[in-house]
Amino acid sequence: MGPIRKAEPRVADAPRTLSAPGASEHAPDSVALPDPFRLYRGGMLHGGRIAYETWGQLNAARDNAILLFTGLSPSAHAAATPSDPAPGWWQRMIGPALALDTSRYFVLCVNSIGSCFGSSGPASIDPATGERYRLDFPEVAVEDIARCGFEAARALGITRLDVVMGASLGGSVVAAFAALFPDGARRLVSISGSPAASPFAIALRSVQREAILRDPDWQGGNYPPDRPPRNGMRLARKLGTITYRSATEWRQRFGREPLAGNALRASPFAPRFAVEGYLEAQAERFVRVYDPNCYLYLSRAMDRFDLAEHGGSYPAAFNGNRAERVLVIGVESDLLYPIHEQAALAEAFEASGVPTLFRRLASLEGHDAFLVDIPRFDAEIRAFLA
């Protein structure tokens, strides 16, 4: 990876949003949001900030930028950087000669507003009080995530993105971006996103939220940072992990293998199968880094997102969009955001006159395939960007 050059204005010296407990010790750079910043559902934010990381160099014309939105849980750390060499969540996709080729593109990944990895959210400090916002943070919508990403790009001197891309929640954010900013990007890539949450996805998320809300340690959102509602978060993450993969993959991967090293079971109901150990590891990792109130905020945002709010129908939302090309990717084994939802997104782009490529991938890894089945995603995105 070449040396990183940040576009002006530089914000390295600006005050940084405090990160959530357990977040990376490498606090990312951040940009200031316009102040005040009015949110989509009516709230108002003062002194808001958006954390970001970048890879590659912005060219002189400032027209080689890829804006990348994340799923619900990741930070902006999509790949290693000189200041944070730990592998990122899309490490194998971002770098010189990789699908998001940093010898050619300037890749900018933002931490969603409402999340807890440097951007303003329920776990960050309200500059007006010096305390965490907690539930006083205004309601966050998918549209706000899109807008804050664009604000971060603007703050770095970019007025139009070459590519706006995202997967999972990020795939829906790309749709919101297209609805809000008809001229915001030359190309769009929406992966495993949804134009509106299905009742099935809403049901699953409402159970995840309830697990947190009913954990006595949640304390109405006022838990001490070192004593979050761990049990509720564990359950929420385990359930999420189940819905992010597919039954077929797990049959091949775990079968009915017993859990290793579990010969002496402390409880008659202790985990017994390998798949339970996998869930346990996923939950433990998540509970250490993610803030419960932030989880609740973004989970609700996913439920409430409905592309049809923008003009009355999905195609109407993209009316007048001037993107040159759109790629929509869906995965056939996706249980949470089933492929007909990506098909509906692609149809909406197509119906509004935007040249659209819809790709159905046969990956077994379900909703998480974009994180795992790198060869398939690499090939699709590489071909589209070429």
List residues near its own copies by CB under 8 A.
135, 139, 196-200, 202-204, 206-207, 209-211, 213-214, 216, 231, 234-235, 238-239, 241-242, 246-247, 250-251, 253-256, 267-269, 271-276, 279, 296, 300, 303-304, 306, 335, 338
Q: Which is nearer to its own copies, 129 or 267 (CB)?
A: 267
**Would you list the DSSP string of 77-144?**
--S--SS--S--TTTTTEETTSSEETTT-EEEEEPPTTSSSSSSSTTSEETTTTEE-GGGSPPP-HHH
* Cα 91 to Cα 110: distance, rounded to the nearest angstrom: 15
Residue 36 to residues 32, 39, 120, 348: CA-CA distances in angstroms?
Answer: 11, 10, 13, 33
CA dihedral 170, 174, 179, 182 (to 10 degrees): 150
Q: Cβ 97 to its own copies, closest distance in Å?
A: 37
User: Active-site residue 168, yes or no?
Assistant: yes
Please tell me which residue in 101, 367, 368, 373 is annotated as part of the active site.
367
User: Active-site residue 310, yes or no?
Assistant: no
Select from 189, 91, 112, 107 the least CA-distant residue to 156: 107
Q: Which is nearer to its own copies, 41 or 322 (CB)?
A: 41
Q: Which is nearer to its own copies, 303 or 378 (CB)?
A: 303
Per the CB < 8 A criterion, the answer to whether 212 and 292 are in contact is: yes
Q: Cβ 187 to its own copies, closest distance in Å?
A: 30
Please report how the helices 142-155 and 292-304 are oriented relative to each other, as an axis angle in degrees rounded to 10: 110
Helix (H, G, I), strand (E, B) or coil at 207: helix
Please tell me which residue in 29, 162, 334, 373 is annotated as part of the active site.
334
Please tell me which residue in 19, 168, 246, 299 is annotated as part of the active site.
168
Q: Which is nearer to its own copies, 108 or 176 (CB)?
A: 176
Q: Cβ 285 to its own copies, closest distance in Å?
A: 16
Structure tokens at 267: 């409880």
* Cα 72 to Cα 91: distance, rounded to the nearest angstrom: 18
Q: Which is nearer to its own copies, 37 or 295 (CB)?
A: 295
**Would you list the DSSP string of 1-23?**
-PPPBPPSSP-TTSPPPPPPTTS
User: Active-site residue 368, yes or no?
Assistant: no
What's the full length of the chain, in residues? Answer: 386
Burial class (CB in 10 A: 0-12, 13-18, 19+), 199: exposed
Give residue 67's Cα distance to chain centre. 12
Q: Which is nearer to its own copies, 86 or 203 (CB)?
A: 203
Burial class (CB in 10 A: 0-12, 13-18, 19+), 113: buried
Which positions are annotated as active-site residues? 168, 334, 367
